[in-house]
Amino acid sequence: MANTGRVEVALRIPPAVDAPMRARAEVGGLGVPRPAVDDITLLVSEVVTNCVVHADLAPGQDIHLRITRDPDTVRVEVRDEGRGFADALRKGSRTSGFGLYLVEQLSDRWGVERGAQTCVWFEVDVAGW
């Protein structure tokens, strides 16, 4: 039976060590089949971890997580007001980890928007899972 409803989650998370865990907890309520949930959970964790480790956020600068699930797609946006990140992160350099490399490999679409905030977003198609 196809899920035809829309689910949206918007959350502000302090950039603490438990931020990835708090973000992962939001994925389970999306009503997405198990293999997709596993991939999305991993990717959410990686992107939020990048904010905690690399954004150099000041007190009061939270991580903004938005997850939108439509019948066919889950879109995740993770925003912060930090310093952005080096292009090495996008390439999955050995010194920085493989978080965005995983995003590139496991998502159907992804990108980075830079401005007053940095937004890393990705989409996973869930139709047919």
Task: Report the CATH number that the domain containing residue 42 is assigned in CATH.
Answer: 3.30.565.10
- Model confidence at 1, pLDDT cuts 50, 70, 90, reads very low
pLDDT in tens, 23-81: 999 998 898 988 899 999 999 999 999 999 888 898 899 999 999 999 999 999 999 99
45 domain residue, yes or no? yes
- Host domain of residue 61: 7-125
Percentage above 90 pLDDT, the chain: 62
1 domain residue, yes or no? no
111 domain residue, yes or no? yes
Q: What is the mean pLDDT of residues 107-114?
A: 94
Query: What's the pTM value of the predicted model, to 2 decimals?
Result: 0.87
Total tally of structural domains belonging to the chain: 1
Q: What is the mean pLDDT of residues 107-119?
A: 92
Task: Collect contacts of 17-24 with beta carbons under 8 A, ≥24 apart.
Answer: 17/52, 19/48, 19/49, 19/51, 19/52, 19/63, 20/44, 20/45, 20/48, 20/49, 20/52, 23/48, 23/63, 23/65, 23/78
2 domain residue, yes or no? no
83 domain residue, yes or no? yes
